[in-house]
Chains A and B, each alone.
Chain A
Amino acid sequence: MRGRPGLYTSYEAEAALLPTRTRKVALGLLILVLVLMPFSLPVIDQIPFVRFLGDAPWLRVVNRALIFCIAALGLNLLAGLAGQVSLGHAFFMGVGAYTAVLMGGVSTPHLWGWGLPMWLWLPASGVVAAGVGILVAPAAVRVRGLYLAITTIGLVFIGLHLSRVFEEIAGPGALGRKWPKLQLRLWKEEEPFLDFSGNGHWFWFDVNRTQKTYYFLLALLVLFALAAANLARSRTGRSWAAIRDRDVAAEIMGVAEFRAKTTAFAISSFYAGVAGALLASMVGQMNPEAWNLLLSVEFVAILLIGGMGRVSGAIMGTFFVVLSPRFVEQFIGWTADQAEGDGLFSGFWDLLVVVGSGDFGLISVTQQALGFPLPASALDEIIYGVLIIVFLLFEPLGLFGIWVKVRNYWKGWPFSY
């Protein structure tokens, strides 16, 4: 009830997505900022953190993060909400990507492709992945926890194997093939009526292709996040939570375990399939080896760092994991500049980084091979390895848990409980 946040007169009000006005305003502001971000607007481009997104390289990374968000939301439904830890997420993304390329790709003598428009191949990539998910689901009813995780690893290898068998779909081994572009056309016409993959002019603004892709992906993410948040508070979502907390007890309460696990796999795979298709067509060309175990593990890491079971946790985790290598890279670059300069601390930075040959340091800017000094690219993998350990030990609820703690600190004011 208005002005009395604790007074719920209906279950609808209690389960509302945005129960308080503060949250509505906060979300509204966030979306406004997100929409304005890619532009160099007169005032806003003075705000340092917001402005950098105007740079294409940053925006590209953000686009990648947006796609990863969709995939992470999918895994979050499966692992965070329904408690079914899966390491086969990369496989489902791959299924989506190859469905997209089969339906939307160009047909050549060696490759299959039907050249269908995006409004067909994008949903189809999700649906096909969901279908495969349903096939896999019975395994989850039989095995639990770690065993399920190991079982789903098998999927990744099956996927890699299939990609080698069906070269007509996946393209030749190391090269892969070209994916259809993010363009909306009615049918197979030459000219798309909405093109996200080229520079253009929208309303009164010039927008480049990265900015266009950003908006397209942002809209999709909002859609998928809304769906995920709504699912979590639906009957289905509650049945998942019951299964997660104790599947036997849930079954005794009347939750159909088989059905719940099957829908969890199906919907999670749908998210993964769409994300896979988007990722491949944004990158343009990918080889089958990209859909490997590491990618699956990355999503588990995202959930662990962000916080299991919450939409905001999955999104925070994704941005953290996807953007942090870029930040580390920038940081190393900055330290290298410092080491070469005459600043007060240049001696310190000089000890840390290797700039040229014969220089001593722990991290190398130039070197790529693993060893000593460490290449900058390996550093961020170490950082997030350490982060996973740290989060598991000290903050199992992830970034979302930290947020909850901060919030509760103020909510409880001036008491501690």
Chain B
Amino acid sequence: MALVVEERSSTDAPAPTVTVASLARDWGISDPNRIAMREKDFGIWQEYSWARTWGLVMDAAHGLLALGIDVGDRVSIQAENRPEWVILDLAAVAVRGITVGFYPTNPAAEVKYLLTDCGATVHLAEDQEQVDRVLEIDPAAVPNLGRIIYCEPRGVHSYSDDRLMDWDDFLAAGRQHRAENPDAVVDRMAEARPDDVMTLVYTSGTTGPPKGAMLTNANTEFSITRIMGEDGLRGKRVPTADDLVVTYLPLCHVAERIFSTWHMVSCGLCLNFAESIDTVTVNLREVQPTLFFAVPRIWEKLHATVMIKGSDSSPFKRLWLRSGLKLAGVIGREKVANGGLHTPKSRLLNLVGYPLVFRALQERLGLRRCWHAGSGAAPIAPEVLEFFTGIGVPVYELYGMTENSAVATGNFPGRMRLGTVGEPYPDIGFRLDEETGEIQTKHPGVFAGYWNRPEQTAETFTEDGWLMTGDVGEWVDGTHIRIIDRIKHIIITAGGKNISPSEIENSLKTSLYVKEAMVIGDRRKFLSALIGIELDTVGDWALRKNIPYTTYRDLSEKPEVLELIQGVVNEANEKFARVESIREFRMIPKELDHEDGELTATQKIKRSAMEEAFGGLIEEMYA
């Protein structure tokens, strides 16, 4: 595809606003042949150069103009991660629209809520399944929605709804518009202002309906410079265009947007789209990314894979791996105690362990070339962190939230501290509330408010304009921050004691065998817990113990499994005071699911829904 990029003289505007679209355009001009994206298709990683990517963004942007997108109009996207997601996102920002990402797993009811809440005019639905969710909605309920663009035509061809449009037709319309009005998008881009809202990121909604957090171009720019710039997240070393990233977490989440799209446009690195969440391990191994971000669940899964595969291997290899892991444990503890840096002792041990075990392990995990990895969005088990640090994958725990563009704290290389989320970024407004211990931030990355919810926006700010994160934290050694819990989750027992359930839940979840845990005890005599097992690991454990089982429910109700989990609970209880110990627990009889409403799209437990669904089990424990 021929690249036509109109260069604008900088005299048009005094200081052109930096947007993700303008950053992408700069790469399209300065390094057109560099690979911007790779997508695996028919077994081959198809490459998109920057020139092609920017050309497609321009086509899509003109396509949006052809569909009549005006400044501030919303463009919603419900799709797995794929180049079209990024292209449409950048195109929407280019024409000063607002991108709204939905989780691909959002069920029909939530799609309806989100579409009516944001009032999108153009919606991208990946395939027939996603299209169906939109078509289920009465058109009168979403009067603004003019076009539904789809990427996968299979099954959609026969639909007669005239709002439907194929992605290729959309691009073709864009090309035609571009031929007729070659400067339309360029002019629109030049008009961009720092306080333009560029995206709505919907909160996961553990407590109420999701709210759309508005992030502006200025927020983005601040976030990009703080996180990716020098003295940012990675200390002195800054990501370059030679870095590789695998994108697999939902792009509508702010963390994945930062770690893939925003990294891509700011550093020019290559974005590799995983085929699906199930193939991530394979794709990681193929791509061997240099930067990686994962939620604790993924890290735990990777860790569990090593353990399970390791115990399945032949006796010699097993022995070999086991001694390697012991070595990794020693190195990990040594490094963690030293802020994540090697000590002479760990360096020496690494010299032995690397050629024998670690190198192969890193290769198999796909993290051999990874020089910085992050973990965030939930607390990670220290054992897991130690393991990865030990085998030489530098994983750092980070903390941030949508409302402050994820700029809050991070463990910086060389200064990491286990069990904390690190230090606040230098020179940002960061404080703990004197009374509640709530973390509050104030910096240019703080969002513009919730979409159409002025009173809730006002509630999230203090009187002096600080953002209330809703997370309770405490200082460790005066430099690092430890997160205690969500302020709303703090349990006050019948005895009047304040307890943080998350700490106990996370301690339970450090076990390989526990996937979900919910601690109950608000206004109760003692603490209890609902526990869901991890099917893979417990299934594997049962197989080894020769315990036959049929379904998830059957397995979790086996007396042997109850005994196993009792052991986990006892172990966790030892870490806490007497009032904080779990006296009773029940197994959750099903795998929790977003579709059934027990989990949010980010796999967080919705407590109210859980109490409703498993109220019988809870009452049984207190009977």
Interface residues of A, Cβ cutoff 8 Å to B: 3-4, 6-11, 14, 412-417
A-facing residues in B279-325 (Cβ within 8 Å): 285-288, 309-310, 312-314, 317, 320-321, 324
What residues on A are CB-neighbors of B317 within 8 Å? 413-416
Find out whether the CB atom of A9 lies under 8 angstroms from the CB atom of B45: yes
Q: A4-B286, A4-B288, A7-B286 are in contact. Are A415 and B44 (CB under 8 A)?
A: no
Closest to A6 in B: B286
Any A CB within 8 A of the CB of B14? no
Find out whether the CB atom of B287 lies under 8 angstroms from the CB atom of A7: yes
- Bound state CA distance, A75 and B537, in angstroms? 49
Q: A413-B317, A416-B314, A417-B309 are in contact. Are A9 and B324 (CB under 8 A)?
A: no
What residues on B are CB-neighbors of A3 within 8 Å? 288, 369
Find out whether the CB atom of A11 lies under 8 angstroms from the CB atom of B361: no
A-B contact pairs, 18 of them (CB 8 A): A6-B287, A7-B45, A7-B288, A9-B44, A9-B47, A412-B313, A413-B317, A414-B313, A414-B320, A414-B321, A414-B324, A414-B361, A415-B317, A415-B364, A416-B309, A416-B312, A416-B313, A416-B317
A-facing residues in B25-45 (Cβ within 8 Å): 38, 43-45
Find out whether the CB atom of B357 lies under 8 angstroms from the CB atom of A414: yes
- Shortest Cβ gap from A3 to chain B (Å): 8
Find out whether the CB atom of A8 lies under 8 angstroms from the CB atom of B44: yes
Report the 10 A-B pairs with minimum CB-CB distance, sorted nearest first.
Answer: A6-B286, A416-B313, A415-B309, A414-B321, A413-B360, A9-B45, A415-B313, A7-B286, A4-B288, A414-B317
- Bound state CA distance, A201 and B313, in angstroms? 58
How many residues belonging to B are interface residues under a CB distance threshold of 8 Å? 24
- Shortest Cβ gap from A253 to chain B (Å): 16
- Shortest Cβ gap from A252 to chain B (Å): 21
Find out whether the CB atom of A415 lies under 8 angstroms from the CB atom of B285: no
- Bound state CA distance, A412 and B46, in angstroms? 27
A-facing residues in B71-104 (Cβ within 8 Å): none
What residues on B are CB-neighbors of A14 within 8 Å? 43-44
What residues on B are CB-neighbors of A11 within 8 Å? 44
- Bound state CA distance, A416 and B324, in angstroms? 16
With A14-B43, A416-B312 known, 11 other A-B pairs at CB within 8 A are A4-B286, A7-B287, A8-B43, A9-B46, A412-B313, A413-B317, A414-B310, A414-B361, A415-B309, A415-B313, A416-B317
A-B contact count (CB 8 A): 53
Closest to A11 in B: B44
Closest to A1 in B: B45
Please pick, from A8, A10, A413, A415, the residue contacting B312 in the complex, using a CB distance under 8 A. A415
What residues on A are CB-neighbors of B310 within 8 Å? 414-415
Q: A415-B310, A417-B312 are in contact. Are A10 and B44 (CB under 8 A)?
A: yes
Closest to B320 in A: A414
Contact bitstring B145-173, A, C-beta under 8 A = 1, else 0: 00000000000000000000000000000
- Bound state CA distance, A9 and B43, in angstroms? 9
Interface residues of B, Cβ cutoff 8 Å to A: 38, 43-47, 285-288, 309-310, 312-314, 317, 320-321, 324, 357, 360-361, 364, 369
- Shortest Cβ gap from B47 to chain A (Å): 5
- Bound state CA distance, A415 and B314, in angstroms? 8
What residues on A are CB-neighbors of B287 within 8 Å? 4, 6-7
- Bound state CA distance, A416 and B286, in angstroms? 19
- Bound state CA distance, A8 and B45, in angstroms? 6
- Bound state CA distance, A9 and B38, in angstroms? 8
Find out whether the CB atom of B285 lies under 8 angstroms from the CB atom of A414: no
Closest to A4 in B: B288
- Shortest Cβ gap from A232 to chain B (Å): 18
What residues on A are CB-neighbors of B313 within 8 Å? 412, 414-417
- Bound state CA distance, A3 and B324, in angstroms? 25
- Bound state CA distance, A241 and B502, in angstroms? 57
What residues on A are CB-neighbors of B47 within 8 Å? 9
What residues on A are CB-neighbors of B312 within 8 Å? 415-417
What residues on B are CB-neighbors of A4 within 8 Å? 286-288
What residues on B are CB-neighbors of A6 within 8 Å? 285-288
- Shortest Cβ gap from B247 to chain A (Å): 15
- Bound state CA distance, A108 and B45, in angstroms? 66
Find out whether the CB atom of B44 lies under 8 angstroms from the CB atom of A414: no
Closest to A12 in B: B44
- Bound state CA distance, A413 and B317, in angstroms? 7
- Bound state CA distance, A55 and B438, in angstroms? 87
- Bound state CA distance, A121 and B188, in angstroms? 76
What residues on A are CB-neighbors of B46 within 8 Å? 9
- Shortest Cβ gap from B544 to chain A (Å): 15
Residue with the greatest number of chain B CB neighbours at <10 A, chosen from A6, A8, A413, A415: A415
- Bound state CA distance, A10 and B35, in angstroms? 14
Closest to A10 in B: B44
Residue with the greatest number of chain A CB neighbours at <10 A, chosen from B38, B45, B285, B369: B45
Closest to B47 in A: A9
Find out whether the CB atom of B360 lies under 8 angstroms from the CB atom of A414: yes
- Shortest Cβ gap from A388 to chain B (Å): 29
- Shortest Cβ gap from B213 to chain A (Å): 36
- Bound state CA distance, A341 and B313, in angstroms? 49
What residues on A are CB-neighbors of B369 within 8 Å? 3
- Shortest Cβ gap from B216 to chain A (Å): 37
- Shortest Cβ gap from B321 to chain A (Å): 4
- Bound state CA distance, A351 and B46, in angstroms? 69
What residues on A are CB-neighbors of B314 within 8 Å? 416
- Shortest Cβ gap from B52 to chain A (Å): 14
Closest to B287 in A: A7
- Bound state CA distance, A75 and B298, in angstroms? 50
- Shortest Cβ gap from A230 to chain B (Å): 20
- Bound state CA distance, A6 and B47, in angstroms? 15
- Bound state CA distance, A394 and B90, in angstroms? 59
- Bound state CA distance, A416 and B320, in angstroms? 12
Residue with the greatest number of chain B CB neighbours at <10 A, chosen from A4, A14, A412, A416: A4
Closest to A5 in B: B286
- Bound state CA distance, A8 and B41, in angstroms? 11
What residues on A are CB-neighbors of B321 within 8 Å? 414-415
- Bound state CA distance, A274 and B360, in angstroms? 46
- Shortest Cβ gap from B285 to chain A (Å): 6
- Shortest Cβ gap from A370 to chain B (Å): 45
- Bound state CA distance, A403 and B103, in angstroms? 47
What residues on A are CB-neighbors of B43 within 8 Å? 8, 14
Residue with the greatest number of chain A CB neighbours at <10 A, chosen from B47, B286, B312, B321: B286
What residues on B are CB-neighbors of A415 within 8 Å? 309-310, 312-313, 317, 321, 364
Closest to B314 in A: A416
What residues on A are CB-neighbors of B324 within 8 Å? 414
- Bound state CA distance, A337 and B528, in angstroms? 84
What residues on A are CB-neighbors of B364 within 8 Å? 415
- Bound state CA distance, A11 and B44, in angstroms? 7
What residues on A are CB-neighbors of B286 within 8 Å? 4, 6-8
- Bound state CA distance, A6 and B364, in angstroms? 11
Closest to B324 in A: A414
- Bound state CA distance, A7 and B47, in angstroms? 11
- Shortest Cβ gap from A260 to chain B (Å): 23
- Bound state CA distance, A413 and B288, in angstroms? 17
- Shortest Cβ gap from A23 to chain B (Å): 18
- Bound state CA distance, A315 and B89, in angstroms? 56
- Shortest Cβ gap from A411 to chain B (Å): 9
What residues on A are CB-neighbors of B357 within 8 Å? 414
- Bound state CA distance, A10 and B309, in angstroms? 31
- Bound state CA distance, A416 and B47, in angstroms? 33
Closest to A416 in B: B313
- Bound state CA distance, A10 and B47, in angstroms? 9
- Shortest Cβ gap from A217 to chain B (Å): 39
What residues on B are CB-neighbors of A416 within 8 Å? 309, 312-314, 317
- Bound state CA distance, A395 and B38, in angstroms? 40
